[in-house]
Amino acid sequence: MRIHPLSQGSIILNMLPTERPICLFLPSFGDGGVERMLTHLALGLADLGCKVDFMVGSPEAPYLQILPARVRLHPLGDCSPRARRDFLADYVKQMLPSVVLSAKIADDRIALAVKRAVPSDTRYFLRPGTTQSARWRVRKSLFFKRWWERHLLRRLYRQADGIIAVSEGVAVDVARIAQLPREHIQLVRNPTIVPLIAHQAQAPLDHPWFAPGELPVILGIGGLRLQKDFATLIRAFALARRQHPCRLLILGQGRQQARLVKLAGELGVSEAVQLIGFDPNPYRYLARAGLFVLSSRWEGSPNALIEALALGVPAVATDCPSGPREILADGRYGPLVPVGDAEALAQAILETLTHPLPAEILRTAVSEYRVEISARRYLAAFGLGDGQIS
């Protein structure tokens, strides 16, 4: 990974589009799934020989350490939206990228402002990553706020040169919000599976619950917030544990931690439930889990579910909008249960613990999410390749 400042006079005017850099614009870089997926995409595009410029906040942000030096890193720091816009505008003028891809609404607005202000043949793509309509509905957003956000998204989607959705459910949702034909939205699966996952899964794990001969561990992964609905998972676990001795471990942090700990106590399962916070290597837990459970109320394309299957770990998921039904192939690779239904989730947990699918079958479910396949699909969506896998 190399920090690459802009330099005057760096334009090569007669480059073909495939020889010009691809810019991933994510200055609002945090520690979530969007950041991890764009880091994986930068890696995959670089491995295909593309010139990749990655605009982030801090060079010390999570995940960036996996990037090779050929990915040119542009850290913008904690600057204002206007400063970010000015930086991107200067970059487009000097470097003439073939594509600018953004993946968060705040960054989308900046990128499209530069599109309007800087004449060039650079194409601007947006990558919506969640089912926004379900988010509004579950969070019970006020009518005016929902109306304003819908209006904003519709305007953004219509200004972009292309929209790349992470799942069919997200694509349908975007088309509905933007009032665009579904065929105007491209679908490219996330570059979730990178070789590093298998390597990290083999790292040592010093946790007594994972010692040989211990009870099976059910694993949940994600921020402790409304979307992930870990309260339903804890209730389902309490029901399932009456029939099948097991334990529940949740990786993630958030403001609901105290509430979830209290719920486990009220249900009498405190000794069998642990919330251990964020871990930079969740794969060593995931690979040793007896079962992975996704209890979300809404998603876009849940990466942890994909990673569980890639490691051969049986999985259960809520049939939330959107992603789980596509990933699990309508229940072929794991049960789908109604959102918020603790009894149905408990029954699915029991059935899967008792009759898990073989690991080799689970791995076949997520082959399209390998980084090398996804990167080629992105190039095709950008109009820079045919998407074929050799």
**Within this chain, do residues 282 and 169 fall inside the same structural domain, yes or no?**
no
Any domain includes 387: no
Interstrand relation of 123-126 and 99-102 (parallel, antiparallel or unpaired): parallel
Ramachandran sector of residue 206 (left: φ over 0; alpha: ψ -120 to 50; beta: rest): beta
Any domain includes 312: yes
Whether 216 contacts 246, CB under 8 Å? yes
Closest CA to 106 of 74, 152, 148, 166: 152
Neighbour count for residue 314 (Cβ, 10 Å): 23
Q: What is the pLDDT of residue 50?
A: 96
Between CA 87 and CA 82 the distance in angstroms is 9
**Within this chain, do residues 76 and 222 fall inside the same structural domain, yes or no?**
no
The structural domain count of the chain equals 2
Whole-Å CA distances, 199 to 110, 178, 195, 221: 37, 41, 7, 19
Between CA 225 and CA 236 the distance in angstroms is 17
Any domain includes 235: yes
pLDDT in tens, the chain (390 residues): 455 556 444 444 556 567 899 999 999 887 788 999 999 999 999 999 999 999 999 888 888 999 999 999 999 988 999 999 999 999 999 999 999 999 999 999 999 999 999 999 999 999 999 988 888 888 777 777 788 888 899 999 999 999 999 999 999 999 999 999 999 999 999 999 999 999 999 999 999 999 999 999 999 999 999 999 999 999 999 999 999 999 999 999 999 999 999 999 999 999 999 999 989 899 999 999 999 999 999 999 999 999 999 999 999 999 999 999 999 999 999 999 999 999 999 999 999 999 999 999 999 999 999 999 999 999 999 999 875 554
**Within this chain, do residues 166 and 204 fall inside the same structural domain, yes or no?**
no
Between CA 1 and CA 3 the distance in angstroms is 7
Packing angle of the helix pair 168-178, 143-159 (nearest 10 deg): 100
Backbone angles phi, psi at 148, to 5 degrees: -65, -45
| pLDDT tens string 353-363 | 999 999 999 99
**Within this chain, do residues 327 and 376 fall inside the same structural domain, yes or no?**
no
**Within this chain, do residues 282 and 159 fall inside the same structural domain, yes or no?**
no
Any domain includes 16: yes
SS (H, E, C) 79-141: CCHHHHHHHHHHHHHHHCCCEEEECCHHHHHHHHHHHHHCCCCCEEEECCCCCHHHHHHHHCC
Q: What is the pLDDT of residue 10?
A: 46
Any domain includes 390: no
Any domain includes 389: no
Closest CA to 311 of 206, 244, 221, 388: 221
- 124: β partners: 100
**Within this chain, do residues 128 and 163 fall inside the same structural domain, yes or no?**
yes
**Within this chain, do residues 140 and 220 fall inside the same structural domain, yes or no?**
no
Cis status of the peptide bond prior to 322, with omega within 30 of 0 = yes
Q: What is the pLDDT of residue 3?
A: 53
Any domain includes 388: no
Which residue range forms the structural domain that includes residue 71?
2-191+370-382
**Within this chain, do residues 181 and 200 fall inside the same structural domain, yes or no?**
no
**Within this chain, do residues 277 and 343 fall inside the same structural domain, yes or no?**
yes
**Within this chain, do residues 162 and 204 fall inside the same structural domain, yes or no?**
no
State the CATH number of the domain containing residue 168. Answer: 3.40.50.2000
**Within this chain, do residues 225 and 310 fall inside the same structural domain, yes or no?**
yes
Any domain includes 179: yes
The reported pTM is 0.90
**Within this chain, do residues 284 and 251 fall inside the same structural domain, yes or no?**
yes
Q: Can you list the pairs that 33-36 forms with residues at least 24 positions away whose Cβ atoms lie under 8 Å?
A: 33/129, 33/303, 34/103, 34/104, 34/129, 35/61, 35/62, 35/63, 36/62, 36/63, 36/303
Whole-Å CA distances, 212 to 87, 92, 209, 288, 355: 54, 56, 9, 10, 20
Between CA 364 and CA 359 the distance in angstroms is 9
Q: What is the pLDDT of residue 135?
A: 84
